[in-house]
């Protein structure tokens, strides 16, 4: 881990106090959890259900009615597709992602159990809990330990070794964004290891079975079952489902990349996290994360990952509380001289695009890198 001009070097004593203050923020918030939080997540469940039903109904009825009243088809299709996309975004980000982090396990509601919840996406929840909840949140932006750094496809930091393949990454990034749920679905298969012979075909086949079953269910649900409900008018329904999923993929990709790969986001070596203290862990989460400004609507549509810093600090705290928590977090960061990375969606995503384009070409870490944080704090 390295220090930058935007972050003050902390002494060992300061680092300990930094971690203690953030632990206290978490403890205060956890002690307040109750009916308000239960009502909130159940309202999200209802919103996902009703927008999904309305979207699918509009698509089907619009397709059937459009055969006889052509003027009905286009507005019904647009409305139905957007409502279905909204339902999928809310389910993916504010419901599924947050529930699977165990944010509502204290409710003892079997439908909101983080260990068993299965979401509306091509990837399995079990794989996500492994690659995201454990690997990513434990080793955030640690090279060689966090597979989310470029997802094995993209070079986003100069510390990643350059290969000629990366010249094509602007195109790869676009394809990955369009098919994001499928990329996430196969992430834990580690196809690169199979390609170079470190995993046998038999092992890959065994690992793929649950993933393949989940993929098949998603394809049958969105691209066979619901379109066929419209009978001979299935084509607009099929197209609406495809577009809704693509819109969800594009939005999810944008939010996640803005949360991890802006200009100020850092990556860390394995050596820098050896013997990591609680305060050191918080500092790494802070420096590997980026927030999005935009208010309550942005918070809702991102599953509150607009507060990625707070999410990395407290992944098991209900995400709708992050906006309030952020007030305390920003104050703590300011007092300890630590940069709190936040900005508008256009600004942050512009920096992501810059990373994708710049590091498609050979690049090296800046020559003037200050000493490792762990050393500076010794």
302-338 per-position pLDDT tens digit: 999 999 999 999 999 999 999 999 999 999 999 999 9
272-307 per-position pLDDT tens digit: 999 899 999 999 999 999 999 999 999 999 999 999
88-121 per-position pLDDT tens digit: 999 999 999 999 999 999 999 999 999 999 999 9
DSSP for 60-124, please give it: HHHHHHHTT-HHHHHHHHHHHHHHHHHHHHIIIIIIIHHHHTTTTGGG--GGG-TTT---SSSS-
pTM over 0.85: yes
H helix intervals, 179-307: 180-185, 191-195, 201-220, 226-228, 234-260, 278-287, 296-301
Cα–Cα distance for residue pair 169/147, rounded to 1 Å: 17
Residue among 289, 260, 254, 90 at smallest CA distance from 177: 254
Non-local CB neighbours of 175 within 8 Å, separated by 6+ positions? none
215-244 per-position pLDDT tens digit: 999 999 999 999 999 999 999 999 999 999
Residue among 270, 302, 264, 269 at smallest CA distance from 286: 264
């Amino acid at each position: 881990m390295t220090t930058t001009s935007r972050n003050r070097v902390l002494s060992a004593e300061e680092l300990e106090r930094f971690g203690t203050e953030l632990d206290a923020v978490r403890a205060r918030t956890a002690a307040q959890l109750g009916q308000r939080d239960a009502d909130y997540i159940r309202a999200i469940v209802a919103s996902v259900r009703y927008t999904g039903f309305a979207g699918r109904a509009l698509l089907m009825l619009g397709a059937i009615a459009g055969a006889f009243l052509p003027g009905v088809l286009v507005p019904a299709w647009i409305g139905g597709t957007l409502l279905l996309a909204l339902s999928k975004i809310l389910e993916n980000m504010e419901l599924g992602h947050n529930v699977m982090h165990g944010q509502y396990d204290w409710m003892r509601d079997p439908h909101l159990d983080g260990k068993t919840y299965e979401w509306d996406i091509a990837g399995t929840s079990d794989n996500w809990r492994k690659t995201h909840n454990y690997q990513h949140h434990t080793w955030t932006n640690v090279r060689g330990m966090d597979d989310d750094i470029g997802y094995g496809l993209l070079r986003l930091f100069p510390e990643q070794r350059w290969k000629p393949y990366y010249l094509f990454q602007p195109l790869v990034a676009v394809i990955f964004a369009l098919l994001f749920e499928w990329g996430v679905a196969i992430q834990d298969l580690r196809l690169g290891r199979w390609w170079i012979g470190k995993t046998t075909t038999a092992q890959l086949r065994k690992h793929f079975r649950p993933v393949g079953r989940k993929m098949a269910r998603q394809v049958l649900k969105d691209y066979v079952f619901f379109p066929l409900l419209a009978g001979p008018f299935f084509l607009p329904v099929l197209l609406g489902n495809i577009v809704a999923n693509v819109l969800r993929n594009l939005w999810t990709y944008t939010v996640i990349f803005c949360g991890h790969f802006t200009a100020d986001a850092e990556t860390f070596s394995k050596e820098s996290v050896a013997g990591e203290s609680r305060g050191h862990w918080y500092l790494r989460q802070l420096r590997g994360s980026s927030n999005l400004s935009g208010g309550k609507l942005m918070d809702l549509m991102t599953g509150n990952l607009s507060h990625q810093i707070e999410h990395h600090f407290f992944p098991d705290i209900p995400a709708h509380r992050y906006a309030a928590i952020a007030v305390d977090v920003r104050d703590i960061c300011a007092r300890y001289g630590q940069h709190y990375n936040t900005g508008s969606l256009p600004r942050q995503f512009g920096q992501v695009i810059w990373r994708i384009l710049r590091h498609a070409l050979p690049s090296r870490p800046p020559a003037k890198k200050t000493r490792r944080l762990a050393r500076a704090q010794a």
